[in-house]
Every structure is written in structure tokens, then in C-alpha cells.
Amino acid sequence: MSNTSPTRPEADGSVSLVGITKTFGNATAVDHIDLEVRSGEFISLLGPSGCGKTTLLRMIAGFEQPDEGDILVGGASVVDLPPHRRPVNTVFQSYALFPHMTVAENVAYGLRQRRVPKDEIARRVQDSLALAQMVDFADRKPTTLSGGQQQRVALARALVNRPKVLLLDEPMSALDRKLREEMQIELKLLQRELGITFIFVTHDQAEALSMSDRVVVMEKGAVQQLGTTEEVYRDPANAFVAGFIGKQNFIDATVSSPDALTTADGSIPLHRLPQGVTSGSSVRAAVRAEVVQVSAQRPNGPALQGTLAGISFLGDSIQYVVLTASGLELIARVSPDRAEHLSTGDTVWCSWDASELRVFEAAA
């Protein structure tokens, strides 16, 4: 192995999935997925449980065999290699630390398998534990550690092998929220520093958005959208992605003209129609809760009228729930310093910038 650059010492860490299909009995877990993961990027597989994201990760690791398709790591096919011969390492959801070994022994395990000399093992275990800030716990058994500490050990155990690609299977799902947010920042910094490709599986959209360079939104074994975090957030490809990323209000409507929609509660303006949607067709419009403004006075532009059904203080924002005359429920999240003095039962107007409205075909 030649060290070409100090930040990216290892070889090409790109991952290519070509036409991957996996079925369990009658259920198709992964359906003809093609995916190009760039070397050194942080990519998240995001989707609800059962969308096939974990199966996809397990196929890259080698724990499941795809029915069809090829998996390439660094340009070489690994699909016929058993897990122990693949140039990837995994951080497991349950951490899967060996309970009969100390923290240091756990971290040394992978190096032992590759017959790394003893003094090099000691040095690399030391470095890896330092990276994870777990040096002081080297001689402890994993069962005596907290969830966050166990996760750091799992991370150190995987990274000590200097894999081309690190696979992370919902590694933060067992942590409490505060710790999770801290670990998200640390993990992202670590990934930048090491330049290793991270493939991160999560069902938590906030987690995916906060850490990833790109996000793969999955549903029913298929990729719904692949894009940067910003693209996925600002320009969701379909109603599913829109609903999964951020808090969305969905409004069923009909296209009355190229620049307006008719809803049960009146007309709302439209910035642009998506391709293939014509006047008269039924659509699903989506607007994120963060861009909805709620006011007691009718604003200048078009707005939907409703009754304020609930107010909750979320800390960084105030959440309003507005019920329109047709029974549509609109959620608005307004920053506290911009919120008007409103109380439940008030008649209010909901408005938003027309460019924030996304329109999807109703079938989606």
C-alpha cells in the first residue's frame, strides 16, 4: 500500500452497486438498485424500516448474497468474497462487541486476524482508542461501558483496520438524543479527517441530513432519490421523499391553470408545474411546516383560512396546528421571535411563498 496523500492514505474507496436484487421468500427486499458511491464521501441510506437499506448494507459487507447484480469496492468485484475477505468494516447496530474480551482486545481483533506484528498492533490499537477517546477504558470489559462508550469502541474496532469503506448500520439508534447529536458531529469530523468512505444506514432524516454529503432515500427496495442533502431537502423527487424529509403539509388539489391550484379551501398560487402535469389533473401539493406563516390578519397574497387548533412550544420554534373549513390539517413551525400572539380557537390565515410549494402527481 502506498501513501499517496496524508489525508487519504488508503486505496480507492468507491463502491458500485450494479443491478442488485435480493428477495427473501416472496418479499423483494432490494429491487434492481444501481448506486455509485464516490471514494471518501459520506453517504446515507435513508428510509423507513423494511425499505431494504439494511439488506443493502449487509450485502456490501457480505452477510447476505444478492440474487442478481454485482458489488464493486475500489473497482474490484467483491460479490464472490466471503465477509472476512472484503475490504470493508462494519459498525453494527447492537455494536456486537465481544463480551469476553477487553476493549483493547476487541480493537486488536481485526489486526490479529491479519497477523499484524505485535508492536504494530499495540501502536494502532493505542491510536485508534485515542481517536475514539477511549484509551482510559482499554482494559475494561464492554459490558461495563455505557452505550455511547460502547459505540466509540465499535467505531475504533472498525477503523483500526483502515478499511476502504466503513459501513454503519444505525449505530446511534440506542443513544439518547443529546449524545446522538454530539456523536453526529464527531463522526462527521472523523470522516473528513480520515477520508474513508462512510455508508451510513438510518431511518432518522435529521441524522442523515446533518452528516451526509449525499443521501439515498429508499422505499420498498428501490431508490426514490439520490442527491445532496440540500437537493433532497429543497427539491424532493416525489411525494414520498417530500414526506420523509422534513415536516410536510400535503394538500390534495386540482390544477386549475398553469399558475394556480384549486383546493377545497380556495385557490393557491403555483410557481411552476412539474413536467407531465397538465391543467385539470389531480395533484398532491406539499409545503414544509417551516415555511408556513400564520397570522391573525389576512396577508396581502393568497392564503388559506382556518381555525387555530393547537399551539406547542418546541424550543427552537412554535408549532401551530390549523384546521381549515374542509378539515385539512396544516402544521406551521414559526421561530418564536417572529410568532404573533395567538391563542387556540382564533381564526388565522396560513400563507407561504409560492416558490416553496412542490407539486407531485396524485398517484405518487
Binding residues (CB under 8 A) for another protein: these are 61-63, 82-85, 88-90, 92, 94, 96-102, 104-105, 107-110, 113-114, 119, 121-123, 125-126, 129-130, 135-136, 138, 157-158, 161
Within 10 Å of residue 252's Cβ, how many Cβ atoms? 14
Query: Which is nearer to another protein, 201 or 308 (by Cβ)?
Result: 201
Query: Which is nearer to another protein, 98 or 313 (by Cβ)?
Result: 98
Minimum Å distance from CB 209 to another protein? 27
Query: Which is nearer to another protein, 123 or 298 (by Cβ)?
Result: 123
Query: Which is nearer to another protein, 90 or 224 (by Cβ)?
Result: 90
Q: Check residue 304 and give left, alpha or beta (phi > 0: left; psi -120 to 50: alpha).
A: beta
Give the cell for residue 321. 396546528
Minimum Å distance from CB 150 to another protein? 12
Residue 294 CA: distances (Å) to CA of 61, 219, 250, 307, 330: 49, 33, 17, 11, 10
CA atoms within 13 A on the CB side of 324: 18
Minimum Å distance from CB 156 to another protein? 12
Minimum Å distance from CB 317 to another protein? 39
Segment (H or E) for 72: strand 68-73
Can you tell me the distance from the alpha carbon of 23 to that of 46, in angstroms, rounded to the nearest whole number?
20
CA atoms within 13 A on the CB side of 217: 26
Minimum Å distance from CB 127 to another protein? 8
Query: Which is nearer to another protein, 30 or 61 (by Cβ)?
Result: 61
Minimum Å distance from CB 102 to another protein? 8
Query: Which is nearer to another protein, 109 or 233 (by Cβ)?
Result: 109
320 close to 310: Cβ distance less than 8 angstroms: yes
